[in-house]
Structure 1
Amino acid sequence: MGYKTNIMEKIRKNKEIKQLINQSKDLDSFFKEAEKIGLFNDFSLLTFFYRPPSIVIDELLSMGMQFNVNNNTIKTINNEQELIIEEEYSNLTEYRIINMMRTEWAQIESWMAFFIKLGEFVRKQSNINVYINYIDDVIPTLFISLGVIYAALSELSNENKEVVEIEDGLEVGPGDEVAYLDGNGWRRATIIAIEKDDNAYSERFNPYIRLQVERAKGNGTLESVPRTLWSKKIRMSANYKKTSGSVVRLNDDLSENLIKRCGNDICEKLKFYNEKYINLIGSGIEKNIEEIIDFFKFRDKYGEYTMKDYIYFSERGLNYSNVNIIKSDKFEPYNSEEVVSVFVGSSSALNLNQYKTLKNIYIINRKRLNLLNNEVLETQVSQEMVNQKNDKLYSELQIFLENHGVKVPKGCELIVY
């Protein structure tokens, strides 16, 4: 049974929807009443009803449900809805849901904007914890991740530096293994030192990274790489496949859509740092995300793109990744002052809390009833709030959201401390 079939079956069995349709004189009044009772807090229902009205009406008819609606009403609903959304979210992108066969583009929904902006806000803080109880956990996690990544890329773009630098909080030093590019491809290498060369032709070349580079038959050579070439010749935290020789297989690709939006210089920096912005924590989280990440397609002034153009998981097979997947206590965390740890589900928050960082998001799906774990987590959050009380954070978040025309979605419990 496909995703769309499941939604139609849910609608058939929902007495509240049937009653509301019977009571509504037209599609316009149905939307108004449905929003009042929070019907569209259910993401699957939202995606079904917020499509072109003609398609919705045809599919409801196929299920034996009918509105007293005419073409003029449909036109009015479309115009009013587009006007409201365009006014509030004109600075955000458009989207459509591919697997729901949505052929028309629409302005991004308010709940999508909220989770994106929440991710941006968390990224910008030095110390923050957020607890979210919502009707879904996986889809909001994707939009939060987009927000964190958008903010991180914006920071990198605003640096306006010609060459890369070893940033504060990025732990790099002697003994670290990297990949080094020479004429024969990528090779395994180890950092010996990062130091200034007093004899450098130009000060902009300083500092140099001194490397011990592996060669054939266990031999090695010393190489010195000036700062101006770091982004071309070195890959930190490299993800490569070993070969029988010293040359390694390393997939250094990035999406053309990302390069188009960020530029070559920024993307070279991304590949050099290979910095993770998010620890994504939860059993089976990668599988759940892979099932839905291709549903969404977006459009901005540069053209169309998908979430995969921005979100690079650590297990995707590429050298570059910005999201570190943690499925159990056997996985290594990414440690940085800037990394955001997102715990998906109360079980991950309780059982894998050793992966907490300075910035943590706990997101709970209230429809997955694990009452004991939920209660334990809520108690833990309450205790942490007392110990780490910061009344300003929630107020600052409210102001941040208001400045972007975004509100907390109905039915979303939000705690910030």
Structure 2
Amino acid sequence: MKDSILQWENLKYRICKTSNWEKVREWMKFFLLIGEYIDKKDKINMYISCLDEFYPALFIAKGVIDSNLSSIECKLRDYDINNDLKIGDNVTYLVGKEDGKDIWKKAVVINIYNDENAVKKEWNPYVELKFEKKKKNEFNHKIPRTIWSKKLRISSNYKSTAGSVVKMNKEIDGYFKDKYSKQVLNHIQGTNKKQINIIGLKVQKEWESYNEFLEFLEDNIKYKISDFIFANDSQYSISNVNFIKTINSKSAMENNIPTVVVGDNSALTLSKLKTGKNIILA
């Protein structure tokens, strides 16, 4: 936690482009630390009473996201694709470029295996994909571990087309791109995992309004809320925040990530949606 406190000593904010940058206040640091704390716990339930729930929820979400991304770098070397991918899954694969644009195609995983004849051990395991071509012809292609992060997307936001080619949503830029390594960036775009559940009817709309005036500055990186909060309906290639607005929400709860319930009404009406790691702000 000490390293995190020191990190956030450099975090500044302002609520108007013409105003001066100010260091984040103690209450902001508190909720950032709460976010990191709950991200690292296996199981926890916490109730926090506060006058305003929307700002605390925002800083908790940022704490969770920063904590999660900071830990990815250490885990990438031992990353096991079998935890995120299984035979039969639909994926997208970068097949090349055309007019300077990346060409991604839909494919199906038909095998994940170690090739005993591989020239280099680090190429294992391989992922074998099945692509559909025109006139219903099919062909298979095996992908070595060394290029997964650059070319294989286990889950990503894209627009389907008539054929096998897909139009990928915007790539991540700004804050994530400037702060984290290319390896981390490739991993989060390739796996597209949710990092936090936010339960509350008005939270997403409220945060979108904050995006109009609230800015952050961290190690000379200037960014806004939209640079680290990517909603379920994100126009980017990832969606890292799962917004649940009603009990009948189309977005399924993610059980293995932190959940923040925002407001008394949400705590009462959506209590069944809680997971193993919960914070209630009311």
Q: Larger Rg: 1 or 2? A: 1
What are the superposed Cα offsets for residues 219-241 of structure 1, whole Å, 9 maximum, x if unpaired? 33212111111111111222211
Gapped regions of structure 2 (runs ≥ 5): 98-102
Describe the shift of the 1:336–1:221 C-alpha distance in structure 2 as closer, same or farther (beyond 3 A). Answer: farther
The answer to whether the Cα contact below 8 Å between 1:129 and 1:359 also exists between their aligned partners in 2 is yes
The answer to whether the Cα contact below 8 Å between 1:279 and 1:333 also exists between their aligned partners in 2 is no
Tell me the secondary structure at the aligned position of residue 126 of structure 1.
coil
Describe the shift of the 1:349–1:331 C-alpha distance in structure 2 as closer, same or farther (beyond 3 A). Answer: farther
Describe the shift of the 1:224–1:359 C-alpha distance in structure 2 as closer, same or farther (beyond 3 A). Answer: same
Query: 2:93 aligned with 1:175, yes or no?
Result: no
- Looking at structure 2, the residues matched to 193 and 88 of structure 1 have their Cα atoms a distance apart, in angstroms, of 46
Describe the shift of the 1:214–1:358 C-alpha distance in structure 2 as closer, same or farther (beyond 3 A). Answer: farther
Specify which of 24, 33, 39 is matched with residue 117 of structure 1.
33
Describe the shift of the 1:350–1:107 C-alpha distance in structure 2 as closer, same or farther (beyond 3 A). Answer: same
- Looking at structure 2, the residues matched to 210 and 90 of structure 1 have their Cα atoms a distance apart, in angstroms, of 43
What are the superposed Cα offsets for residues 258-300 of structure 1, whole Å, 9 maximum, x if unpaired? 2121021211111112111111222233212211134321222
The TM-score normalised by the length of structure 1 is 0.61
Query: How far apart are 1:305 and its partner, in Å?
Result: 2.0
Specify which of 68, 74, 96 is matched with residue 158 of structure 1.
74
What are the superposed Cα offsets for residues 2-53 of structure 1, whole Å, 9 maximum, x if unpaired? xxxxxxxxxxxxxxxxxxxxxxxxxxxxxxxxxxxxxxxxxxxxxxxxxxxx
Q: Name 1:148's counterpart in structure 2.
A: 64
Residue identity opposite 1:246 in structure 2: S
Query: How far apart are 1:89 and its partner, in Å?
Result: 8.6
Describe the shift of the 1:97–1:209 C-alpha distance in structure 2 as closer, same or farther (beyond 3 A). Answer: same
Describe the shift of the 1:353–1:331 C-alpha distance in structure 2 as closer, same or farther (beyond 3 A). Answer: farther
- Looking at structure 1, the residues matched to 278 and 116 of structure 2 have their Cα atoms a distance apart, in angstroms, of 43
**In the TM superposition, what are the counterparts of 1:12-411 in structure 2 within 5 Å?**
91-98=9-16, 103-159=19-75, 161=77, 164-166=79-81, 170-183=83-96, 185-328=103-246, 329-335=248-254, 337=256, 339-364=257-282
Query: How far apart are 1:211 and its partner, in Å?
Result: 1.6
- Looking at structure 2, the residues matched to 90 and 249 of structure 1 have their Cα atoms a distance apart, in angstroms, of 37
The answer to whether the Cα contact below 8 Å between 1:340 and 1:357 also exists between their aligned partners in 2 is yes
- Looking at structure 1, the residues matched to 186 and 70 of structure 2 have their Cα atoms a distance apart, in angstroms, of 15
The answer to whether the Cα contact below 8 Å between 1:252 and 1:271 also exists between their aligned partners in 2 is no
The answer to whether the Cα contact below 8 Å between 1:127 and 1:358 also exists between their aligned partners in 2 is yes
Q: Name 1:56's counterpart in structure 2.
A: none
- Looking at structure 1, the residues matched to 7 and 25 of structure 2 have their Cα atoms a distance apart, in angstroms, of 8
Q: Which is further off, 266-275 or 208-217?
A: 208-217
- Looking at structure 2, the residues matched to 220 and 320 of structure 1 have their Cα atoms a distance apart, in angstroms, of 29
Describe the shift of the 1:199–1:351 C-alpha distance in structure 2 as closer, same or farther (beyond 3 A). Answer: farther
Tell me the secondary structure at the aligned position of residue 92 of structure 2.
strand
- Looking at structure 1, the residues matched to 40 and 8 of structure 2 have their Cα atoms a distance apart, in angstroms, of 23
Gapped regions of structure 1 (runs ≥ 5): 1-86, 365-417
Describe the shift of the 1:266–1:171 C-alpha distance in structure 2 as closer, same or farther (beyond 3 A). Answer: closer
- Looking at structure 2, the residues matched to 350 and 217 of structure 1 have their Cα atoms a distance apart, in angstroms, of 54
What are the superposed Cα offsets for residues 277-328 of structure 1, whole Å, 9 maximum, x if unpaired? 1112222332122111343212222332223222222212112121122223
Q: Name 1:393's counterpart in structure 2.
A: none
- Give the share of equivalent positions with the same residue, in percent: 35
The answer to whether the Cα contact below 8 Å between 1:238 and 1:319 also exists between their aligned partners in 2 is yes
Tell me the secondary structure at the aligned position of residue 295 of structure 1.
coil
The answer to whether the Cα contact below 8 Å between 1:313 and 1:322 also exists between their aligned partners in 2 is yes
More strand by share: 2
Aligned length: 272
Query: How far apart are 1:347 and its partner, in Å?
Result: 3.0
The answer to whether the Cα contact below 8 Å between 1:195 and 1:208 also exists between their aligned partners in 2 is yes
Q: Name 1:381's counterpart in structure 2.
A: none
